[in-house]
Amino acid sequence: VQLQASGGGLVQPGGSLRLSCAASGSSLDYQLIAWFRQAPGKEREGVSCISRGTGTTYFTDSVRGRFTISRDGAKNTVYLQMNRLKPEDTAVYFCAARAVRVPGRTCLNSMHYVNWGQGTLVTVSS
């Protein structure tokens, strides 16, 4: 599966952005899609993940209640809606896919993914 992330940009604190991750290839190639982010000098962090079949979602604690993740099966696209953005959300955001689901919140562990899209930069600044 090939992944194409888009939607990053510059936004003021408190603003919103919607990231898109478009997936190409067979639906059998990916049952789990996740968003990760990496800020300068920091390790890559799992942000959110969604099961393609069940729609089950997980979020890291720092974004729960502000971010939502959704999927559009017809478009083979997963969205990350980011609201009430904070300067600490500034990072390069990546989407990743996995053919087989993993248990619960372990979907936020980057070690489970081999298919990655290119990153899209999100900058939250006044």
Measured CA angle at 111 (ends 106, 115), to 5 deg:
105
Query: What are the pLDDT digits (tens) for 12-61?
Result: 999 999 999 998 876 656 889 999 999 999 999 999 999 988 899 999 99
Proportion of the chain above pLDDT 70, given as a percent: 97
State the pLDDT at residue 22: 93
Task: Give the DSSP H/E element, type plus range, for residue 116.
Answer: strand 115-116
73 pLDDT band, cuts 50/70/90, is confident
CA–CA separation, 90 and 85 (whole Å):
9
What's the rounded mean pLDDT across residues 4-16?
97
pLDDT score for 27: 60
d(CA 71, CA 74): 9
- What is the predicted pLDDT for the residue at 25? 76
Specify the pLDDT at position 56: 94
The SS3 assignment for 100 reads: coil
pLDDT in tens, 88-111: 999 999 999 998 889 999 999 999
pLDDT (0 to 100) of residue 67: 98
Contact 114, 120 (CB under 8 A): no
Confidence category of residue 85, pLDDT binned at 50, 70, 90: very high
The answer to whether residue 82 scores a pLDDT higher than 80 is yes
